[in-house]
Structure 1
Amino acid sequence: MFARISGAAFRGILVAMLFALPTLILPASATDSPEIILFIALLGSVLAFTEYYSHFPSFVEFRNAPPINRMRFAASAASVGALSLLAAHPLAPTGLTALVQQLGSWLGGLLDFAYSPVQLTVLMMPPQVPEATVLMVRDAAGLASAAAGAAIAVFALVIRVGNWPVGSGAFNVWVNLPLFDPTTGGDVVQRLQRDGRINIIGGVLLPFALPASVKLASGLVDPGLLAAPHMMIWAISGWALVPASMIMRGLAMLRIAELIAQKRRTACSDPDEALQTA
């Protein structure tokens, strides 16, 4: 019980620190409403604590199948932290912010090629926006894309090399996929494969579709709002990490479908052995 409470409390503190990270890094002049940020951080902390303390699942997937959620959080923390340092460089430059700015400039220039998601984020910016803001958005997109790509690559490696989720113990579908009902909608393997492919396709297309949608809806959505540091940090992080999370979810569901199919083949070839290992 103590381990469960302490683990849930630790996760809640980490979530609160993630939401407060831009405010802690940026100068006080760049934060207009610290009370709202504090409220959001506390709300996120309470939700994380409640989810991981409860014995029953609610909405957080892969709760007992590490390290997928840890990788998602690490990618989010890396992206938000790097973008916060990038946004702080023009306001309060330090050696660390200068290093992040140089890294972002290199990644932004490297990924800013024809028809790339980074180039689309640059093209969606209005012409009246200063060049410095456009370059910062490009560099932020490069940093966030690198964090998202690294998370996807490491998780794919964990699946194949680390034999996820078998290496972490038995996989409970009810706890780890609370929003997935295996009793409805036909064969569970086919449904997992379909949902996994849909998530991967959606995650690949979303970084292209979001900038194009913002550009088309320029009369309703002003991309110039990305000049505000907090808006830039959370918008660019979400643009990169939500698709990455979808791709990781798709890879996980395809892996679970593969394991269920293997279990079925074992049961068909050797029923006695399948009963002994069940």
Structure 2
Amino acid sequence: MLRIVSSRAPAAVLRAGVIAVLVAWPHLTLGHGPSGTAQLVALFAVMAGLFTFSEYVAQAPSIVEFRDARPYNRIRFASLALAVLLTCVLLRPFPASGFLASWIQGLCRTWGEVLYFPWSPVRLLVDTLPAGTSAGLRRSVCAAAAVAYSLSLTMVLIFACVVRLRNWPGRTAFNVWINLPQFDPTAGGDVVGRLQRDAQVNLVLGLLLPILAPLVADLLSGPFDGLALREPSALVWMVMAWAFIPSSLAMRGLALNRLAWMIAVHRARMRRGEGLPQAA
């Protein structure tokens, strides 16, 4: 047991450090907000790092799903990190210096204008900005939302290709205890039916939340309140939450649907081997 934990420790430390840097990156690159923000960001970064370390160093995680089913979490992290980096470039409080930064800003703002059509998720999100928001900030938020939403959809598409073309999670045995710590196979009901039902719920939420969340937030006078507009790093994470929470749910739905199919195929194979009638 101790040997297993110690063998995971270096990788867990590396993951924890990367996560902590990602959490702090918007605040480090976009300037300082109100007093006390730096301490709050540092606290969140440390907490995120400690949580990641504890989840990956333990024999079995408590919350993180598909820990040992690569590249599920790697695809999610890479997409989120790229979206955060590009959004930080777009929301810089001073003009971009250098050809590369200016080119990225111009390209992303053009893409934001393409996705700013009636009833698009990007337009619904931008329309929740307060009426007095400057035109420059609206363009930046529109570009950031377009980039984050596009990357989140790309993340789901890449995982779907991995499932289809590489037969994710592979030929090795899938450990439900480690990869689905919140799922209890013995809770009652058919496992395949429960997995399929959960997959459908996650897919529907992943599709609808980018549209419904801005509408609900607009009714509640959010999410872009005064604090978000004064603190650029908070603005970054609000855009990330809007884009990547639904796409993560859709990605989870694809994964659960794949597992349900694998179990159904395994049952059918066992029935054929035992000469039993196939399930309808």
Aligned to 1:202: 205
Partner residue of 1:93 out of 96, 104, 128: 96
1:243 aligned to 2:251? no
Alignment of 1:246-261 (within 5 A): 246-261=249-264
> How far apart are residue 151 of structure 1 and its match?
0.6
Change in 2 beyond 3 A, CA 1:222/1:161: closer
> How far apart are residue 10 of structure 1 and its match?
0.9
1:231 aligned to 2:241? no
Distance in 2 of aligned mates of 1:185 and 1:111: 45
Structure 1: where are the runs of 5+ without partners?
A: 273-278
- Cα deviation, 1:128-153, whole Å, max 9, x if unaligned, reads 22221211111110010121011111
Change in 2 beyond 3 A, CA 1:143/1:224: farther
- Cα deviation, 1:194-229, whole Å, max 9, x if unaligned, reads 0001000001110011110111112x7554554331
1:111 aligned to 2:115? yes
Alignment of 1:72-221 (within 5 A): 72-88=76-92, 90-95=93-98, 96-167=100-171, 169-218=172-221
Please tell me the residue identity of whatever aligns with 2:206: G
Please tell me the residue identity of whatever aligns with 2:104: V
Structure 2: where are the runs of 5+ without partners?
A: 276-280
Secondary structure of 1:93's counterpart equals: coil
Q: Is the 8 A contact 1:195 1:253 kept in 2?
A: yes
Aligned to 1:271: 274
Distance in 1 of aligned mates of 2:112 and 2:225: 18
Please tell me the residue identity of whatever aligns with 2:155: A
Distance in 2 of aligned mates of 1:157 and 1:22: 31
Secondary structure of 2:91's counterpart equals: helix
Distance in 1 of aligned mates of 2:110 and 2:274: 57
TM-score (norm 1): 0.91
What CA RMSD, in Å, does the superposition of the two structures yield over aligned residues?
Answer: 1.8
Please tell me the residue identity of whatever aligns with 2:235: M
TM-score (norm 2): 0.90
Aligned to 1:262: 265
> How far apart are residue 181 of structure 1 and its match?
0.9
Count of residues in correspondence between the two structures: 268
Q: Is the 8 A contact 2:79 2:152 kept in 1?
A: yes
Change in 2 beyond 3 A, CA 1:31/1:70: farther
Change in 2 beyond 3 A, CA 1:35/1:225: closer
> How far apart are residue 170 of structure 1 and its match?
1.5
Runs of 4 or more above 3 Å deviation: 29-32, 220-226
Q: Is the 8 A contact 2:149 2:243 kept in 1?
A: yes
Change in 2 beyond 3 A, CA 1:236/1:127: same
Distance in 1 of aligned mates of 2:267 and 2:259: 12
- Cα deviation, 1:232-253, whole Å, max 9, x if unaligned, reads 1000011000001000000000
Q: Is the 8 A contact 1:65 1:165 kept in 2?
A: yes
Q: Is the 8 A contact 2:91 2:141 kept in 1?
A: no
Instruction: Give the stretch that moved more between structures: 120-129 or 151-160.
Output: 120-129
Distance in 2 of aligned mates of 1:121 and 1:222: 9
> How far apart are residue 64 of structure 1 and its match?
0.8
Distance in 1 of aligned mates of 2:34 and 2:88: 12
Percent of aligned positions that are identical: 38
Please tell me the residue identity of whatever aligns with 1:147: L
